[in-house]
Each structure stands twice: as C-alpha cells, then as structure tokens.
Structure 1
C-alpha cells in the first residue's frame, strides 16, 4: 500500500453497529486536537478523542514551547514592548505567500484573549524578556524575537515587536509538553473521553456530510457515530512517499522534526471526503547559523560567491533561500576577528585560509567573485550601511582581518531538520473546504494537518505552529459544538 493512497469512505447506511455515539470526535491529541476537544466540551458537546499513540502529545510534545502571540499581551506590556493587533496583522500579511486575511485578522485580534486563555489553562508565561539573537532562549524568559520583525523589508512594513512567548521550561525541547499535560487535565475535568492506541481509519459519510469515523485498536475495530469530526493528526514528514511527492528537499536532510504518526493520514482522510489542500509543496527546513550571533556579522554566499539573503534573518528564512541557490549550496564567511564556534554546530566548519583567493579556489567559487563580494560588503559595513540587503547595524562589521574561515550551509552538509507545513484547506473556523471553497458538512481540521498561518519556511516565526494550532483548534472545537447544538434544535 502506497503512502499516497487515499482511504475509502464508508457510507453510514453500511454501518450496522456503532461502538460510540458522540457529538464531536477528535482525531489526535496534540495541541490542535487537545484545544479542539476542550473547547467543544466547554460548549456542552460530548467529545471523544482517538489517539493512535500510547500517550497524548504528538509532535507538540517535542516542541520548545514558543507561542507566537501579540497585540499587547501581559508579557509584552510588562517588559515594555508595545504592540497592537494592527501591527501584528501587517507583519503576518507581509510574511505570507498567499495571505488569508480573515484568518490573520482573527488571529491577531484574538491574540490577547488567547494568551489569557492559555494562562487560565495553567500556562504562566514569565514576565521577562530575552534580548539576544537565539533560536530559543536558554532559560525561562517569557518573551523574545522569534521571526523577521526587525529584518528588512518587514521592519519597514510593520512596527517590530517581540512575539515569541515561551512556556517557562528551561532549554530548547519539550516546553510544550507542559501544555499537553494541562490540556489533559482540563479534558478530564470536562468529561472528554480519550482512547489511546486507537487510530481512525476511515471517515463515515451520510449523503456527503461526515457522520463519524471507523477505528482500529490492535485487533479490534469499530465505528463512532459523530455529528462532527475534527482531524488533528499532524503533518506528513514521516511519510516517505508523500515527502518525495510534495517536498523532496526534506528527503535530502539528516533528520526530521515529527512524531511516528506524522504520516499524513489525517490529510488523506480529509481528502477522502473531498477536502482540498494548500501549500503541500512547502516545508520548514533549517540549520541555524546562530548562536553565537557574532557569526551574523559575516556574509553568506552561494557557490558563485554572491550574497542572496540578509544574514540576520530568522534561521528558516535564511535556510529557505539556501534551498533556492544552485545545488542548494552556500557558505558563511567570517574573518578571524569575528570567528566563534557554535556550541551546538549545525553548520559544518570547513577550514581557514590566509587569502580570499585561496578560499575561492578551495570552495570552487569562480575566481574574483568572493573577493568582489566581500570588498563591497566591507566598504559599506565600514560606513554602517548595507544597501544590498539592509542588514541591521548591530550585525554589520567589516570582515577584513584575515585569515578567513568558512562554514558549509549546503544541503547534505549542514545538519538540516524540518517538517511539513501544507495541509487541508480550512476556513477561519476550521471547517475543511472543497476545491470550490464550500465547507464539507461536519468536517474540521486543526494543527499541522490544516493550512492556517504557516505557509513556508521563509515566512515562518517560531511559535506559529503552537500558536495557530491552539488558536484555530479552539475555534474548530467551538464551532463544531455550536453546529451540533444548532442541528439538535432543528
């Protein structure tokens, strides 16, 4: 069986025995599914969650714990970083390949309320700020810049503000696991049923509307009657067939960010009912060159010796542009005065050379190209300028103190990791849409199997997946519950 196969749907009339009868069934208990489940239950719906793994969490449990939130959250206010929904909206629109304005508007205008909801859940973000350029703050600081807000041209399009709110867990992994624990506690309080090691296998349809799902638990099978189904089963980074078909660059790097069950089944279940997909050819792929941030004073060039991105960009934006270069090859060049080795090197140190001409020859860069590029950069940097890519002044410094060192950012050489961002097309309330834009009755999607704010790596900000997954998961669960309640009164 191919990993591209679309599961068959089952007609409700063919089901003779229902194992359960609920209002809303949720497929998957990650951030999207967990928020959908508790929100539906809070609206009075009877909710059942089917989770293929033995525990809740999915890929969320592996995340560092950033939520991209803004508009004037309590942490932003406490740390002296004014923000507004309008400036946040302007930034996210500018960063999107194909901005879905209604989703971005809802997310920005609802961001402060969503922050408050997370804190009511039990996530108490520290009222502190981490000022350095990092992938994730090493401590428990509650706020940092996690995107391209200060990077040109976006710094000219919206007033910059830090929006990466971190769950107060030290380090760079598993911070979001705390949120899953809190969601499980809230789900139990609301009477949500959670069935582990139980995977959804097919959608059940009744005259085109979703009427439930079939499930498998080891050797046992059954069917759940449900008036709404929320698919929150993750992305497809673990499905080699889908990766090869949609995002082949992901097949060329050493490891991926995902759980065993990020196999695209949720997306394919949605497609089986007629759901359309968006941005399936896009992925978040990254090998951060920082920290230390001093390396960003250097230049990043392709195999032709040409700069192609502002070096102070958010790491997945830089990496996204590396993917676009000839042979997906690039090098970071720094002089002796600005050379520091990363503590956790994801980019490969190649060597050092006494002259730029020797470096050009060793790296296979056409003679004179790197010399010309670095001379131009140094001349402008000495004036505090970067007319080509407008790098922030704090990261501008002439690289004229030889010898010079090179790091390899090339795909297959640097330690790239990544995940998929494409998924089912949804509306602002999480309803799965057909190609013609009409919603499929009773079918919702949230989290990594739905296309919401994250559309590619170049426009990504850390916290987008957890932020959008939780926010639109809540909307999907609440809308599903209201739709079921409304149908019952008819």
Structure 2
C-alpha cells in the first residue's frame, strides 16, 4: 500500500480553477533558497516580470549550509590562489567522483559555465578570498576562499586526476550559507521581482500538457498564480519526507542529522511525478562523518566491526560516512597510538584507551586476533612510508606502535552523522523537467534539490549550492533568451 505522503500530486487543469487567476507574471519561482534566489535575479535582470514565493521567509536549507560552492575550470579565485584548472579537468574529475557520465549534457554545461557563474556570483556580492586553506572538506574558520572538498588529493582520485582545489567558500568565517543567501537577497531586492513570503505552493496548473501556473495557500485561502513563461521549482528536496526515505534511502532514517528543513518534504518531486517526470539516483545519498579538521587525524587507522581496514583514512569524509553506513553496517572505529592522538574540530575523543591492541579490541568488542593482524600489517608497511592496502597518501602514513592505544567511536548509532538524499527529478542542461519518454514538460523547470543532483553515486561538498544556483540561472536563460 502506498503512503499518501509519497504519492504523486496531480496537476490542476486550468479549466478547473474556480476563481480564475489571482495574479500573474512572466516567471514564477517557487522557493527562495540559493537556487530560487539566483533564478529570480537572473530572470528579473533579463527584463521579466517575476514572482518569487516561499512558504516561509526564504533562505531554506541554503541559509543553514556550510556555504561551499563547487566551481572550477580556472576561476579568478583559483588563479589568485595560484591554482590552475581547466573545464575539461573539472569535468573528468566530477564524472569520476560523482558517478555521472563524462559526456552528460548537464555535467558538461556545468563545467563549461563554471567560470562565468563564479564571476556572476562575485558581481552580485558573493566575494571569495583567493587563498587556499589546506584542511579539506569543511569551511575554514577564517575567510580563506578555496579548499579541497571532494577527496581530490586522496586515493583513488589522485591516481587518475591532478589534485585541484575547487571548493569555493564565500568570504566570511565558518559556515557561509547565510552569507551567500543574504548577498543574493540583497541582489534580488535591487531588481523589480515581487517577493511573496508565507505563500505555500500546493499544485501546478496545466493547460493541456503546458504548465501555466501554480496554486498557493495564503492565510488559509487558495489563490492561483499564472506564469506566462514558466514555473521554476526551487523548493528543496525530500530529506524530511520519511515515506519517501523509507522507500528509497531507508538507511538515512538511521542517522542523527538529516540536512534540511521541514520544507524539504518532497513537494517538488511529487508534483513533477504527477506530470510523469523521470527520476534518477533515488538510492544515492550524502552521508558525512566529519573526522577532520585537523587533517592530522587521518594518521590514525579506521577499522570495521571485524577489526579490518576498509578505506583510506584521508578520503573525503562524505565518502567515509557513506561507506560506513552502506557497507559496514554503521560500525567503525578510529584508532590511534599516543603520539598521533588528536581531538578534532568536532570534539571527538577516545573513550577507550588500553596498553595493547588486543586489550583495546576486547574493550570495544572487536576480534582481538584480527585487529592485531590488521595493525601488524599496517605498521610493517607504514615503516616504509607505504599504505599497501588502500594507498593513503604517504604524508599521513606512520606506524602506530607507541602505547597507550585509543579508539574513537565512529558508529552511526553513537555519533552525529549528517546526510541527505541526492536523487530526484530528471532535468536537462537548461533545468527543464524531463518526462519518462525523454520529452520535456513545457513551462516547467527545476533547480537545486528540487531536481536530481549531478551526484548520482557519491558527493562532493559544494555541488548542491553550485549546481542549484547555476541551473536556476540556466532555467531563466532558457525562458528568456537574449
């Protein structure tokens, strides 16, 4: 039996509108996170009459995010930091890291347009300091504007691709999502777009197969807004629709922190499904366990419930969390010897400390003999500066032989993993919603987590805000060519 909260939401035929149209515009944007803001700005600056609406006050998940945008190809920020890059290198890396074909039109457009998009953001108040910060994954505590954010400098990617930093961080300390949203809000206020908050979208309105508007509920009353050029869905994902999670990514129900707000209820996915839209990547998810910074943490060794290593510790922490959750039954431990022990930025500490690896194994419930074998093999190779099993970078490889030995608990049941689903509605390279038969739905576009991510299998920090703002603008350019 289907759950009503996961069912498609059918459109409303224009002939069935009881009270006609309450208002109209060239473009209607549903949702005012980063994707919706960028869409609205671009459309208004192209001369369109724009209605931008949000069920609350706007900002959404974007305002609570770290603020990283994955951009590259040779941006001014990269060049200023002494980092060289090309669109083809960016595309080759992302194809490998995200699990999307290198010739995918959306990926091609994103990489080819990344420099222009960077410059557009800068022109609209989103500054980036051209300084590289060498602690990967998380936003800097200062205003440094460039980081590794997808395991670019770690195995397996550094074996196939030249490591290039592409995580662009807006110039404000720590989490920068609010800064990005505020700068885009300021830019939107300088346009003629009409912003309607506390307007909750309910159904799309169609004339034949053409989307021509949307119904919204305001103070308990239902109104219909007509879109002369198109409707852009930028209203978030489905991280807080437990029925959809149970159907597609049930493991996300086990983690402590799903990234999103209550607006990430799957509404956009469900209304596109009501029009026969195709979906992709519905089992894909980002799951992060933030063991770094500092990067020196990765001199430790991570083992599973069998006392065996299963990954290179210097990988992107999103790959680590995803692997622990999906392949290791949610169980992992980070092990140190005394000289290499460090408390990370999240305050994760060793609660178990013993004089031998065997004693430690018994204390945390691992097979003592197997853990001893694992550590003996690792230490023998590490004495030669090598990780023969998973090719951790040599700078992080050191024997762990000086007692006492400690274990940091990385089990999903005991620490805060952060995640969200990546799959969703298929869109083309101009953010048009694609049906199951490959045709597009006239008048309907989707961007941000309202659409399926470029990340089909794995994630890089910054893809969500990068692709959301980029394809929001692409939707505007498709509706309003100049």
Question: Which band: TM-score by shorter chain?
Answer: over 0.9
Q: Corresponding residue for 1:270?
A: 272
State the distance in 1 between where 2:187 and 2:297 align: 44
Q: Does 1:33 align with 2:40?
A: no
Q: What TM-score do the two structures reach when normalised by structure 1?
A: 0.94
TM-fit CA distance, 1:200: 0.9
Q: Residue in 2 aligned with 1:165? A: 168
Q: What residue is the counterpart of 1:471 in the other structure?
A: 470
CA distance in 2, matches of 1:367, 1:344: 29
Which residue does 1:239 correspond to in 2? 241
What SS is found at the alignment partner of 1:3?
helix
Deviations 1:206-259 (Å, cap 9, x if unpaired)?
Answer: 111111111101212110111311111101112222222222122112222212
Runs (4+) of structure 1 moved beyond 6 Å? none
Deviation at 1:158, TM superposition (A): 1.6
Map 1:196-235; keep pairs closer than 5 Å: 196-227=197-228, 228-235=230-237
CA distance in 1, matches of 2:257, 2:87: 36
Say whether residues 1:323 and 2:325 are aligned partners. Answer: yes
Q: Note the 1:109-258 alignment, pairs <5 A.
A: 109-133=112-136, 135-171=138-174, 173=175, 175-227=176-228, 228-258=230-260
Distance 1:452 1:252, change over 3 A: closer
* Cα distance between partner residues in 2 of 1:93 and 1:118: 24
State the Cα deviation string for residues 306-361 of structure 1 (Å, max 9, x = none).
1111100111111111113342211111111111122423x563301111111222
Deviation of 1:271 (Å): 1.1
Aligned length: 477
1:403 aligns with 2:404: yes
Given that 1:203 and 1:273 are in contact with CA atoms closer than 8 Å, whether structure 2 keeps it comes out as: no
Name the structure 2 match of 1:66: 68
SS of the aligned residue for 1:443 comes to strand
| Distance across 2 between alignment mates of 1:441 and 1:412 | 45
Structure-2 separation of matches of 1:324 and 1:230? 34
Q: Provide the secondary structure at the position in 2 that maps to 1:428.
A: coil
Asked if 2 retains the 8 angstrom alpha-carbon contact of 1:63 and 1:177, the reply is: yes
Contact preservation (8 Å) 2:332, 2:409: yes
1:364-417 superposed Cα distances (whole Å, 9 cap, x missing partner): 322411111111111111111112111111111111111211111111112112
Using the TM superposition, give the Cα deviation of residue 441 of structure 1 relative to its aligned residue in structure 2, in angstroms: 0.9
Q: 1:432 to 1:261 in 2, by over 3 A?
A: same
* TM-score after normalising by structure 2: 0.95
SS at match of 1:222: strand
1:273-318 residue CA offsets vs partner (Å, 9 max, x unmatched): 1112111222211121112322201111111111111100111111
Aligned residues of 1:348 and 1:409 also touching (Cα < 8 A): no
Tell whether the 8 Å contact from 1:203 to 1:213 is kept in structure 2 after alignment: yes
Distance 1:344 1:153, change over 3 A: closer
Deviation at residue 94 of structure 1 after TM alignment = 0.8
State which of 85, 92, 95 in structure 2 corresponds to 1:93.
95
Any unmatched runs of 5+ in structure 2?
none
Unaligned runs of 5+ in 1: 486-490
How far the C-alpha of 1:477 sits from its partner, in A, is: 1.7
Question: Whole-Å Cα distance in 1 between the matches of residues 286 and 21 of structure 2?
Answer: 40
* 2:378 alignment counterpart: 377
Indicate the SS of the match to 2:6.
coil
Cα distance in 2, alignment partners of residues 167 and 455 from structure 1: 26
Alignment of 1:12-27 (within 5 A): 12-15=14-17, 16-27=19-30
Partner residue, 1:488: none
State the Cα deviation string for residues 82-118 of structure 1 (Å, max 9, x = none). 1111111110011122336211211111111111111
Aligned pairs for 1:375-454 (under 5 A) are 375-454=376-455
Do the aligned partners of residues 336 and 348 (structure 1) sit closer, same or farther apart at CA in structure 2, a change above 3 Å counting? closer
Please identify, of 444-453 and 318-327, the stretch whose mean Cα deviation from structure 2 is larger: 318-327
Separation (CA, whole Å) in 2 of partners of 1:130 and 1:89: 23
By how many angstroms is 1:272 displaced?
Answer: 1.2
Q: Is the 8 A contact 1:133 1:293 kept in 2?
A: yes
SS of aligned partner of 1:117: helix
